[in-house]
Amino acid sequence: MYYKQYGNTDMKVSAIGMGTMRYDDADVKAGRLEKCAENVLYAHEKGINFFDTAPFYCDDKSEEITGIALAQLPRDSFYVSSKVNMGCYGGKFSPDIFRERLETSLSRLKVDYLDTYYLWCLLDLGSFREQYDLMYSSFEKAKAEGLIRNITFSSHMEGNQLEEVIKSNSFQGMLIGYNALNYRFRQEGISAAYQNGMGIVVMNPLGGGLIPNNPDVFQYLTEGTDLNVAQAALRFVASHKEITVALCGFSNKQHIDDAVKAVENLEEHPALEIYQEYESKGLTLNNLCTGCNYCKGCPQDIDIPKFMDAYNEKILGNSIENRLKWHWSMSSSGAAECIQCGQCETLCTQHLPIMERLGEIALIK
């Protein structure tokens, strides 16, 4: 395993981290939590020492499953994170509720402290400022008491917005979505965080499965390697000097082996060098939907993520209609229900022209 320094902290973390949102669904529903925990132990055996979890993952069992495994390991052999935001409190906040939520995570994970605790899922600067003003003093108090070691944030904002959060000098690390699809619009934020001495953890390095599911399109990532497309996409992220950890969700041991292979003999390069190299390869892919699903909740009950997934097929040179019919069992006519309210575009982490795309899909006969 290849290890990196987590910002200005004393943490030496694995270049691949385990995101614990993909435990086997059938095992979770059947209550086979110990079986799920075996993946954590196997990942640790393979050198992975960074484990990321959160409330509500895997039917709210992720922290519990992860804790079953971590309780069997020496505390100084791993780093673990969890997350919190106003949604965890049902929109009502108080310092006591913050403490209760944190203690629940600690109890489930069977640890006395978290190495990183995220102010979770900041969609824009307004969301950041509101939650920061309400909650940050509680983060500081918990840190002073030794319940968390590092205060961090998780965000889907663009690079220039990320810079505003980073300039607050309030966080030791950040978690963002970054991959071969969206690397352009996160460059500024990554550079600013690195210069500020922050650890940078990346989620969604495979673009929500879009990258490995289109191997011909992304074959250019494998040039000069013996890796498959999924492994090469992981290596693309991990090879950034500025990026500390690439998080992967594992449902089985083979997934872990594949990810570990991706960082064998890893060579790090500055993001700017990688950016310049890849600008001349492949497609301009930043307009592909990465499937984060934050646009869900349309007031007209339009299943926007599925329509945007189908629109990806057009960008990749395939048929929108076939994707809707044979994969989603949907008709294009549903897109015509759009009332142009703009809610989806406000929530979209990539700022895609969703309404325009729905209009185009609605015209398909």
- pLDDT at position 39 over 90: yes
Q: What does each C-alpha distance from 226 to 92, 207, 221, 230, 235 come to in angstroms?
A: 51, 21, 11, 12, 12
Structure token digits, residue 165: 């959060």
Amino acid at 163: E
Structure token digits, residue 231: 């492994």
Fold category of 3-278 in CATH: TIM Barrel (3.20.20)
pLDDT at 323: 87
Structure token digits, residue 48: 């992975």
pLDDT at 15: 97
Mean pLDDT check: name the lowest of 57-61, 122-126, 194-198, 277-281: 277-281
| 180 or 310: which leads in pLDDT | 310
User: Average per-residue pLDDT in the chain?
Assistant: 90
pLDDT band at 160 (very low <50, low <70, confident <90, very high): confident
How far apart CA 287 and CA 283 sit, in angstroms, is 10
pLDDT at 181: 77
| 135 or 280: which leads in pLDDT | 135
The mean pLDDT of 220-241, rounded to a whole number, is 93
Amino acid at 151: I
| 307 or 292: which leads in pLDDT | 307
How far apart CA 37 and CA 47 sit, in angstroms, is 16
pLDDT at 161: 80
How far apart CA 319 and CA 298 sit, in angstroms, is 24
Neighbour tally for 199: CB within 10 Å: 27
For the chain, domain boundaries:
3-278, 304-362
Neighbour tally for 312: CB within 10 Å: 24
- pLDDT at position 262 over 80: yes
How far apart CA 221 and CA 282 sit, in angstroms, is 8
pLDDT band at 280 (very low <50, low <70, confident <90, very high): low
pLDDT at 159: 65
pLDDT at 208: 75
